[in-house]
Structures are given as structure tokens and as C-alpha cells.
Structure 1
């Protein structure tokens, strides 16, 4: 899955830029992800980074801790873990899913939660078209499992000719027109 690392890297770095730009007074703002305010979303991103780093190292499923303010550092460690030889092979002992599936799950989290954060904090966000295409293709195949596991909400209707990113958001339950 050599082609995934550039996509994961771009999505992660873009989300880290957004995180760095969040101001203290924005932590209580609502986000398009109904269960999270900005601080909760940042904490979730930290957990996602820690979880997927652990999974890339064949480690356990880690629990989410309190907000620490260190997503960019955790994200670097996650990318380093996924860059190791052989990491994309086999199945995760902790999750029971193919490593390729987990890599795609991480990618979707970075892209969508980057948008969530950008919308909530009034930042510009334009995800990479190749990354969006890959995330949409994966999500179309995995959406029902995602809903069963509580990762995705009910679909939001968007037109068939909507941009790919809007379709991705709609598939996983986000309203592309959401505003604070």
C-alpha cells in the first residue's frame, strides 16, 4: 500500500495545521460532528493518532484519554509507524480487520475530522482530490459496517453530481452545508 502513505501524510499534515491554528477560546465551539465540541474533537483526534499508531505496531486497542493538546506530535508518530516495512500486511490482532482497512479508516478520520475542525473554527479546508477519491471509494464499501460500529451517522442526501467531498460527507452522515 505504498500509494497510501502520501495520502495519509497529506491528510494528517493538513489536519495538524488546522489543530495548531485553534485558539483557546474556540475549544467550546460546536462542530459538524454532533457528539463533539472543538475540545472533544481534538481529544478524539489525539486518540485516533494513538490508536492507529498502536495498531500499526500490532499493539492493543488503546482507550481515549483526556485532552492533552499534542495531536501534531502523536500524528507524526502514527505516520512513522505506518511507514515501516510490512505494516500493511495481515490482520490486526486487536481489531480483527485487515491492516489495509485500518489504514483507510485512519485516512477517512483525518479527512473528515479535518473538515469538522475547519468548519467549527472558520478555517479554510480543501482536501486533496486524490485523498477524497480514495476515502469515498473505501467509505462506499464500508459504510454499513461503520454505521453498525457507531462511526458514521445516518446518510445526508446530497445530489449525485455534487463534488466528491460533499458525497463523502453525506455518506458518513455529515451535512456539507453545516455552519456554526
Structure 2
């Protein structure tokens, strides 16, 4: 079990500093602008909360877009991130397995690690895109690295990440995490 709350809290802090004028800016996550990526984080938070609670999430079918960000989006996304951390705080969330459709069934402990990866990596993406420090919690980054180092090269859906980028073995751990997921630190 991993405590997702510190990474969720840091993501909330990063989002609080995003100026609406930056929503159309590009991010290191090539398919998304800042606004699109924020909406993706919201979809992820809502969807993975539902997964942990073994419920259905309607937002899981929503295509992430800055156009979905209504006034007050910071508060809405923050609420979803707090709920995400709380849902995965229950040891039962980490047990068993879940099929998310299309025949993609993974153990819930893997889904929990994927959830952490989404928060850590996209937190870094948003921080980089908006000129803010990522400063993800050290334990979260370490647990994320442990996951991506083995999971990403063997992922059941490899197209979700770009080719790994080489970084020195002594690079900061967050740089090594994002490099594995195809980003240039």
C-alpha cells in the first residue's frame, strides 16, 4: 500500500499556481495543453477514485479537454484529488483485481501504482509547463520510480508512453522517472 495523499496534496499546490492565461500552453505531455492535462488529471482522479471504491465513473469516458474546465476548476480538481488520496488509503482498495474494459484487468495494487505514476508524472509535466518547481514528495517519487522502472517497459498498453530518454545514472530520481516515461528532464 502506498500513501497517495502527499503526492495529491502537491498536485493541488501545483494546480493552485496555474494562471488561466497558461491553459493553452504546451506541456511535456505532447498530446495535451496545460488545460487539457489539468482536465486529464481530473478525469484520472475521479476514475481512479471510483476504481478504488469499486464504483463506476462517468468521467472515465470523457475526452480530456481544457473546454471541460468550468469556473472554479481548481476547487473541483482539488476535491477530486483529496478524494483520490482518501480512497486509496483504504487497504481494501489495494486488494483483488479490476477489469477497466477492453480486457485490461490488472491487480489493484498495480492500479494503485499507476495512479501514483499519473499524479507524480503529470505533476512534473504541469510544473515544467508553468515554470514552477515540481517538488514531488521524495517517498512518492521513489515508489513511482520502483513502479515505472519495471512496469513501463512491459506495459500492457505501451503506446501510453514515449520511448525512454537516456539520463545519467546519478540524475535526480524525478528525472529518471520522467525519462522512463518518455519525457526529457
Q: TM-score, normalised by structure 2?
A: 0.86
Match runs of 1:48-127 below 5 Å: 48-60=44-56, 62-64=60-62, 66-68=68-70, 69=73, 70-94=76-100, 95-127=104-136
Gaps of 5+ in 1: none
1:18 lines up with 2:14 in the alignment: yes
Asked if the contact 1:16–1:72 (Cα under 8 Å) also holds between the matched residues in 2, the reply is yes
Q: Deviations over 1:123-180 (max 9, x none)?
A: 122122222111111111111344734321111111122121111111110100xxxx
**4+ residue runs of structure 1 moved beyond 2 angstroms?**
59-62, 64-68, 144-151
Instruction: Point out where structure 2 has 5 or more consecutive residues left out of the alignment.
Output: none
Q: What is the number of residues matched between the two proteins?
A: 172
Q: Tell whether 2:49 aligns with 1:29.
A: no
Q: Which residue of 2 aligns with 1:172?
A: 181
- Structure 2 CA distance for aligned equivalents of residues 154 and 147 of structure 1: 15
State whether residues 152 and 158 of structure 2, in contact with CA within 8 Å, keep that contact through their aligned partners in structure 1: no
